[in-house]
Structure 1
Amino acid sequence: MPKYVYDFIEGDRSRADLLGGKGANLAEMTRLGLPVPPGFTVSTDACRAFLAAGSPPAGLFEEVTAHLRQVEAKLNRWLGDPHDPLLLAVRSGGRYSMPGMMETILDIGLNDATVGGLAARLGDERFAWDSYRRLIQMFGRTVYGVPTDEFERELAALRATAGAGGPNAGQLRDLVETYKKIFLRHVGHDFPQAPHEQLFLAVRAVFESWNSERARLYRRQEHIPDDLGTAVNVMAMVFGNLGPDSGTGVAFTRDPATGAPGVYGDYLADAQGEDVVAGIRNTVPLPELERLDPVSFHRLLEIMTTLERHYRDLCDIEFTIERGKLWMLQTRVGKRTAAAAFVIAGQLVDEGLITLDEALLRVTGGQLAQLMFPAFDPAAAPAPLAAGVGASPGAAVGRVVFDSAAAAAATDPVILVRRETNPDDLPGMIAAQGVLTSRGGKTSHAAVVARGMGRTCVCGADALDIDPDRGEFTVGDRVVRAGDVISIDGTTGRIYPGEVPVQPSPVARYLAGELSPEADPLVAAVHRLLGHADQVRKLGVRANADTPDDARRAHRFGATGIGLCRTEHMFLGERRELVERLILADGPDELTAALDALLPLQRADFVGILAAMNGLPVTIRLLDPPLHEFLPPLAELTARVARAEALGRDPGRDATLLAAVRRMHEANPMLGLRGVRLGLVVPGLFAMQVRAVAEAAAQRIRAGGDPRPEIMVPLVGDVRELAAVRDEAERVLATVDGAPEIPIGTMIEVPRAALTAGEIAAEAHFFSFGTNDLTQTAWAFSRDDVEGSFFSTYLERGIFPVSPFETIDARGVGRLIRLAVAEGRAARPELTIGVCGEHGGDPDSVAFFAEAGLDYVSCSPYRVPIARLAAGRAAVEPTTGTSDSR
């Protein structure tokens, strides 16, 4: 029979796939001899078996009971004992951290008989009845879906009448009876009194919570697979709500917002752990614990040092103090902001805990992208309305909304404003530009989730009196209503009225060459790791650039060439009329005249780009889109001609253009007369472009430059197409005095080209994968149509983990790429291969391209630093373990 349950002492952190992240880390702390309450973990195998069958696997609860007996024996306390009961906490714990998305139930084992025994053992009848009411509420909501609001209303009514000291034991006993009635009304039977039944139902409910709507949404957001399942951790209860000498808190070994070393976290005296993360009561900063309980505080610092050195990373720790005794309830590699990730990685290298290769794996291209976002301009900011805790950095501006549904439905940027968030607010948090709460601190639900998503967040702004029913919040006599614009600064915690102007971030200024790396610790950390990425990466990084300005910008951002220069962008604006002349040419003479008019303009464009990229390769793609894209739309021309005729006027040129558009009309132009087909059908078009490239290169050489142009033929599907264009191009090149040797290659962007890459390589000096079109043609997708029609449904249903236009489809499109690389290199071993689709700037895709054996990626200038970092990570990832901070 399979083994499904593991005592904490049986596991370690390497078994996170089986025990979940929380269970593996509890096992690790137990092995380190840290004060962890006794307990055991029900594995993810059990969850997967449950989800597959719809019922617990055979023998599971017998195995749970056997491990429970070991816990009982260690503590000499028994589940269900009316005189000295053992109580249990049941918590979820998947492979990857999903804060607040799944279920927790505390105080399992309380019933009408054991509540008296708990009161007698701890000498606190009020505490015992308060714990019993907590259990009924958590159990009712989690196991049976009883609305929390009904319980909360009764509790709020009691607190309103109880006075300053809060409800007494008798009042809480009456509240428990009220809770039981609520439970009975919704569930149809009494609250279960058998402690073992409570435990088994709680385990089952945690399994079921894996597929809750909020958990599935969070996994889609974070790209966590749906088939992993969750473990369930069962642990002896320890109580932080036993008076002023008890409490609960969350600690970070470094500041998760900035990376600064020190003592960071929140503490709440006389409270359970759920009170901290829910943000129901405002916490005190963790250093305050030194005054309240110096012994526990200094023991906690020792444990924090032990864990950070053991995990070699920032650790996030949950702890409880029960009447002066410190207990560790959880640790994990902590979530952090993008800025903290870079700073901490550098610090750990300096402290000798990790290598530079490992540090590179602690940061991501996505985090670097966040650091390039603008920040508020402090000189332009008005007086703040209020300030809270800067829980997740960034500058967010939007209209105020007070509930998740409104945020998710908004079309304009919004700021989600709540007293505190809960897991049900996840859709709104994803949709909002930022999150603002009046309660909670850096470890509240809002803060933890926002940091994980890179969303700006300000918490604990207790000056805000939020009234969601009226759709407003007040700060003193200032009223801010739903729909009003506010700005929140997740670094300083300030909240501003209206829209505050932004300015470039220090990292963006550094990457643009405007700021020295020594000017800022964060910039220095980025400089160091990006420099190491450049040293170790095997994948070149070029840029997609169509103008000299774009080329210069790309060069500043670290591009080592241009992988895609789109010549069609040079035919827009004032030059469109020249293209119209080309299209409307009547006979060879008019066609030649039109091409002759375009030649010097093209040549001048190429001179500027080659100068900006002096000494670096510049891949120039010959004209790709259908010619009719350079003409006015059919509907617009039809309307103009009809209007002129209705007024009795001669439509003139519009009529000629309309006739041309109708003549050239195609049902699916992206699969029609474009790319190489256009060059073969329109005499002299590609020859003009090739001549412009060659003459520009010759001009640059005469000026003392080092031009390195490459000519790329688009949309080739058959080697004979490329051979015909190459023959014409080489005849043109031979006539240009002083031109350098210019390689001629092709884009691989239709499946047939990938499937016949060995043949095509015989005529190509290089390949460049056009992954946008290759994805469209491989999937039979029209990107402009499908993204707005059914992609959201595919993502919601898990058919796509991520859009194939965002991250390369490794199994399908990626297989075509691998095949083309292998067959192309077999035919021409020296073949240079790159990619110039939008995937070239996506970090996950960059890792795939590196592994597939490409020579370079090309992306927009602003994504060049991201691709450089991702290429460096790809170079070290196979040989270096990475810390998972997901």
Structure 2
Amino acid sequence: MEVIQEIKKRVYSFGDREADGNATMKNLLGGKGANLAEMSKIGIPVPPGFTITTEVCTEYNKLGQEATVNLIREEVRESVKRIGEIMGADFGSSSNPLLISVRSGARVSMPGMMDTVLNLGLNDVTVEALAKLTGNDRFAWDSYRRFVQMYGGVVMGMKPESKEEIDPFEAIMEEIKEDKGIELDTDLTTEDLKTLVFRFKEAITKRTGNTLPQDPWEQLWGAVIAVFNSWNGDRAVYYRTMNGYPADWGTAVNVQAMVYGNMGENSGTGVCFTRDAGTGENVFNGEYLINAQGEDVVAGVRTPQQITKLGSERWAELAQVTEEVRRETYPSLEEIMPSIYKELFEIQRRLEIHYRNMQDMEFTIQNGKLWILQTRDGKRTGAAMVKIAMDMLKERLINEQEALLRVEPVKLDELLHPIFDLTALKSATAIAQGLPASPGAATGQIVFHSDEVEKFKHAILVRVETSPEDLEGMHRAKGILTARGGMTSHAAVVARGMGKCCISGAGALKINYKTRTMVIDGREFHEGDWISLNGSTGNIYEGKIATKEPELTGEFAEIMKLSDKYRTLKIRTNADTPADALVGRNFGAQGIGLTRTEHMFFEVDRIKAMREMILASSTKGRKRALDKLLPMQRSDFEGIFEAMDGTAVTIRLLDPPLHEFVPHQLAHQKELAEDLHVSLEMVKAKVADLEEFNPMLGHRGCRLGITYPEITEMQTRAIIEAAINVSEKGVQMKPEIMVPLVGTIEEFRAQKEVIDKTAELVFAERNTKVEYKVGTMIEIPRAALIADQIANEAQFFSFGTNDLTQMTYGYSRDDAGKFMPIYLDKNILKADPFETIDQKGVGTLMRIGVGRGREVNPWLKIGICGEHGGDPASIEFCNQLGMDYVSCSPFRVPIARISAAQAAIKAQARNS
């Protein structure tokens, strides 16, 4: 039976003030394609072209090359013909050739992660036609050289074979430049460029066994397929995984008429931002190069110049260059092409107002005419993200809800890391200066190769310039330093997107990858040496510099206050010490959702008493040891209660198996035997007795308190006495005592009886009372299923989503790392369930638990206290379930606050 192929539109045209698509179609056309269509419609000068949809990428991954090309062949041919009609040229013509670019375009910005080919359509014949048409031989051969280099690398696989080897094309170019005694690409003559083309093609054939295609259509299909393949390239996969982007999104392919910035001194190319991507300051900024193509700006081969006079002056100040030298050597676009600058300024203003967001634009000037190649919502640092959102709110470009939704919660983490201590900074020795490409502070040991960053816990990746292949190393490094490149280089853009401290264009650095050395003013630094980077000023310092904790001030404080206006979920923190509690409270925590009492037992003076309790052979012996622990626990609770005055504090009773507290090495067992005046054999026997085949499902949680009720008695007494003590000082505190690992109502009743009996005993002894609650952690699937029974007697539920996930999946959280990356790579799981709640499985149990619990106890307080409490997607799910609060680590409290506000806004939008 003949298969009838579904007829649907797979290719969308744009340009000449018309377009098939618009800005709302990013899922289908990718961000770049959707914005090119939108700009065409509103009259922005965009080179004409077309977009092959993201759906075709998905089809390609299923059908393969031949079937996919057959699907789109006719649409592509018609669209190429339309470009030629608009540009007055013909693709493949030997006399008047149309040249095109082929670029990727995912629905989200993935800078440098996928592939691009420029000047496509050039061959040994059309290069001569281009030279004749333009009257510019050098331009034509420079364009051909670029095409051979890009097509050879992207489509034909001409990549370095080892990390010590530089790009094979760059090696050839450097050899010719050295022979000629020149430094810049622009100094190459037409004959030099012809030699490069010949040697490039020769190198391709030698390494790959294939020749560079001369047929423009073969070139086009090769480039389209290469872009589709790059969606599943190593660097794109890593970037997707890092940001949580699904693999099935696919990428669009954008084919566009070439416009040239390398036609001479009245041509150029650049990248610009409507606001400062590093600080958020409302200042138009960017970089450009005369007589260059776009890749030159971001690749860092030539140091670009600033677009605005203000930016140029700032750069001169950072580079310690006089104003006279600056004007002569590094003039701004505003100064040398004032009319072009004025047009560009007006366009950037129009685009920011139209999109109501900070824009990142690419442009080309061809013989004095300005073309806009792309616009997109600009990548920005966490600080810039917050400032831009609040500034645009004040400028009435967006409303309060939009300002909150503009914030990526996880990027707030950048604002919560330590910064350099100003006192320590004053005494630090600056060794070089670069461009402040991405703000922040970083201290670490020098590493020169991306795949070796993990050699050191704190590493600074030092490169001549970075490329997309360096992505994983950049992600793992504490900071990034490059000798070449500007504020829009690959290193700068990617670092800002990651929130990494980065300094680029530090020209004083002489880097040798083979010897693993960096020389600055004759002084040699080696791999492993410590340096410090100030990404806000561009200063590079020798050695380590002390840091201090950040503060919640300025726009950060403003947006947090705004988030509190909209969220309905309360935000608590997980804290085991008064110091942690105070950090959480300073970041806005409204209580403590989890205090793990076992963490209080591991200090030297306490672990001895704990071990004495464990080794005791009678109840009397255990109580004697617990009496030693009582004042220590009570003191801890008093400190936490004082830090959290006026809020609720949930304290979990002892949870882990006892074997975690005893020594397992013979030497330490001998020490313990000597300390407790018992035999080594007795210690070894007890340790062996505590050994379990599956301790996480063994003798732990409430099972300990039921077996040894004296443990629950001691902990309850410590909690209640601490609450009474602080209340006598005027501190308002209502402790919540949480029974862990309950799976039956009988377990909960048994522990609650001990807690209530002990509390009444303390009240009688002290002749006073304090309010307290008793509840449980829902972390066993059965507890969720019998939540109605438990809720009849419990006063609160706290979902322990870490263990609930372990038990629902049957995965050990500690061992899942052995297979989880493979599961994610093979798409067996869409996301790591220990990072974001599995809403279909674990979430169903939570929904059942909340529903059944509230059915019998409408006033039941419910929250979560697992690591998911700081995950935006999990917080939105908790909001949907109608929980009262989420609890997370202290430094994630701001992330949770903004996430809860966003969840409430989205819920309101759905219900309206």
Q: TM-score range by the shorter chain?
A: over 0.9
Residue 3 of structure 2 aligns with which residue?
A: none
2:8 to 2, 8, 21: 2
CA contact (8 A) 1:85 1:117 kept: yes
Query: 2:732 pairs with 695, 699, 706, which one?
Result: 706
* SS of equivalent residue, structure 1 residue 679: helix
Residue of structure 1 in register with 2:365 after alignment: 321
**C-alpha distance in 2 between matches for 1:129 and 1:503:** 55
Counterpart of 1:772? 802
User: Is structure 2 residue 401 aligned with structure 1 residue 371?
Assistant: no
Q: Which residue of 2 aligns with 1:520?
A: none
Secondary structure of residue in 2 paired with 1:250 = strand
- Asked if residue 582 in structure 1 is aligned to residue 626 in structure 2, the reply is no
Equivalent residues of 2:734, 2:773 under 8 A apart:
no
Structure 1 gaps, min length 5:
512-522, 882-886
Tell me whether 1:432 sits opposite 2:477 in the alignment: yes
Cα displacement (A) at 1:486: 1.5
1:137 is matched with which residue? 149
Question: How many Å separate the matches in 2 of 1:134 and 1:839?
Answer: 48
1:79 alignment partner, SS class: coil
Residue-by-residue CA offset, 1:771-793 (whole Å, 9 max, x unaligned): 22222222323333343x44454
Is 1:849 matched with 2:878?
A: yes
**1:232: Cα distance to partner?**
0.6
Q: 1:571 to 1:153 in 2, by over 3 A?
A: closer
Given the alignment of the two structures, is residue 301 of structure 1 paired with residue 357 of structure 2, yes or no? no
Matching residue within 832, 851, 858 for 1:822: 851
TM-score (normalised: structure 1): 0.92
- SS, match of residue 274 in structure 2: strand
Distance apart, 1:567 and its partner CA: 2.6
Note the C-alpha offset of 1:485: 1.8
Q: Distance in 2 between matches of 1:623 and 1:539?
A: 28
Cα deviations by residue, 1:170-198 (Å, 9 ceiling, x for unpaired): 34334323333333334444322222221
Mean CA deviation greater in 822-831 or 340-349: 822-831
* Matching residue's letter, 2:177: R
Q: How many residues align?
A: 859
Q: Which amino acid aligns with 1:435?
A: I
Offset of 1:49 from its aligned partner? 0.4
Give the CA deviation at 1:344: 0.9
Write out aligned runs for 1:63-74 (5 A): 63-74=75-86
The 1-side partners of 2:522 and 2:629 are apart by: 66
- The one-letter code sitting in structure 1 at the alignment partner of 2:736 is E
Larger CA deviation: 92-101 vs 149-158: 149-158
Q: From 90, 94, 102, give the equivalent of 2:102.
A: 90
Q: Distance in 2 between matches of 1:157 and 1:582?
A: 75
How far does residue 835 in structure 1 lie from its aligned partner after superposition? 1.0
Cα deviation 1:127-175 (Å, max 9, x = unaligned): 1122112212211221121347333333333333446673333343343
Q: How does 1:246-265 map to 2 (within 5 A)?
A: 246-265=267-286
The corresponding residue for 2:34 is 24
More displaced, 39-48 or 566-575?
566-575
Report matched runs for 1:504-583 at 5 Å. 504=549, 508-509=550-551, 511=552, 523-573=553-603, 574-583=605-614
Greater CA drift, 598-607 or 7-16:
598-607
In 2, distance between residues paired with 1:662 and 1:776? 26
**Equivalent in 641, 645, 653 of residue 614 of structure 1:** 645
Structure 2 CA distance for aligned equivalents of residues 427 and 555 of structure 1: 35
Is 1:107 equivalent to 2:137 in the alignment? no
Structure 1, 489-498 or 751-760: larger mean CA deviation = 751-760
1:221 aligned to 2:242?
Answer: yes
Q: Provide the residue aligned with 2:314 in structure 1.
A: none
1:677-708 Cα deviation digits (max 9, x unpaired): 11111143323433443444445555554331
- The equivalent of 1:519 in structure 2 is none
Name 1:160's counterpart in structure 2. Answer: 178
Q: Indicate conservation of the 8 Å contact 2:615/2:686, yes or no.
A: yes
Q: Which whole-Å CA distance do the structure 1 matches of 2:585 and 2:828 have between them?
A: 39
Is 1:624 matched with 2:655?
yes
Residue number among 749, 761, 775 corresponding to 2:779 in the alignment: 749
- In the alignment, does 2:194 pair up with 1:173? yes
Task: Kindly provide the amino acid, as one letter, of the partner of residue 156 in structure 1.
Answer: E
Equivalent residue, structure 2, for 1:380:
424
Partner SS, residue 767 of structure 1 = strand
Following the alignment from structure 2 to structure 1, what is the Cα–Cα distance between the partners of residues 808 and 422?
Answer: 49
| 1:620 positional shift | 2.0
Deviations 1:711-749 (A, max 9, x none): 211100111211222234334444434324432210011
Q: Cα gap change, 1:87/1:680 in structure 2, threshold over 3 Å: closer, same or farther?
A: same
- C-alpha displacement at 1:852, in angstroms? 2.7
Partner-residue secondary structure (3-state), 2:249: coil
Q: Is the CA contact (8 Å cut-off) linking 1:748 and 1:774 kept in structure 2? A: yes
What SS does structure 1 have at the residue aligned with 2:55?
helix
Assess if the C-alpha contact under 8 Å between 2:286 and 2:306 holds in 1: yes
SS of equivalent residue, structure 1 residue 442: coil
- Shift in alpha-carbon separation, 1:635–1:799, aligned structure 2, 3 A: farther
Contact 1:223-1:801 at 8 Å conserved across structures: no
Residue 593 of structure 1, CA deviation:
4.5
Alignment of 1:50 onto 2:60: yes
Which residue identity does 1:816 align to in structure 2?
Answer: L
Of 325-334 and 89-98, more deviation after overlay is shown by: 89-98
Judged with a 3 Å threshold, the aligned counterparts in structure 2 of structure 1 residues 675 and 739 are, in CA distance, closer, same or farther, namely same
Classify 1:30/1:577 alpha carbon distance in 2 versus 1 (closer, same or farther; 3 Å): same
| Change beyond 3 A, Cα 1:532–1:663 | same
Task: Pick which of 841-850 and 816-825 moved more.
Answer: 841-850
Q: What letter corresponds to residue 672 of structure 1 in structure 2? A: G
* AA aligned opposite 1:779: Y
Distance (whole Å) between structure 1 residues aligned to residue 683 and residue 792 of structure 2: 41
Secondary structure of 1:569's aligned partner: helix
After superposition, residues 333-344 of structure 1 pair within 5 angstroms as 333-344=377-388
Q: Residue type matched to 1:739 in 2? A: K
Residue deviations 1:289-319 (CA, integer Å, cap 9, x gap): 0112111100000000000001111100000
Two-structure CA RMSD over aligned residues (Å): 2.5
**How far 1:609 moved relative to its partner?**
3.4
Contact 1:396 1:489 in 2 (8 A): yes
Letter in 1 for 2:98: L
Identity over the aligned pairs, expressed in percent? 48
- For the pair 1:484 / 2:536, whether they are aligned, the reply is no
Find 1:465's aligned residue among 507, 510, 513. Answer: 510
Whether 1:497 aligns to 2:537 is no
Which stretch shifts more, 716-725 or 167-176? 167-176
CA contact (8 A) 1:391 1:459 kept: yes
CA distance, structure 1, for counterparts of residue 735 and residue 410 of structure 2: 32
* Residue aligned with 1:281, SS: coil
- Aligned counterparts of 2:723 and 2:467: Cα–Cα separation in 1: 62
Residues 96 and 770 of structure 1: is their aligned pair in 2 closer, same or farther, counting only changes over 3 Å? same
CA shift, 1:879, in A, is: 5.0
In 2: Cα distance, 1:13 partner to 1:213 partner:
29
- CA distance 1:359–1:650, shift in 2 (3 Å): closer
1:283 maps to a residue whose letter is P
Shift of 1:274: 0.8
Ranges in structure 2 where 5+ consecutive residues have no aligned partner: 1-6, 161-166, 309-331
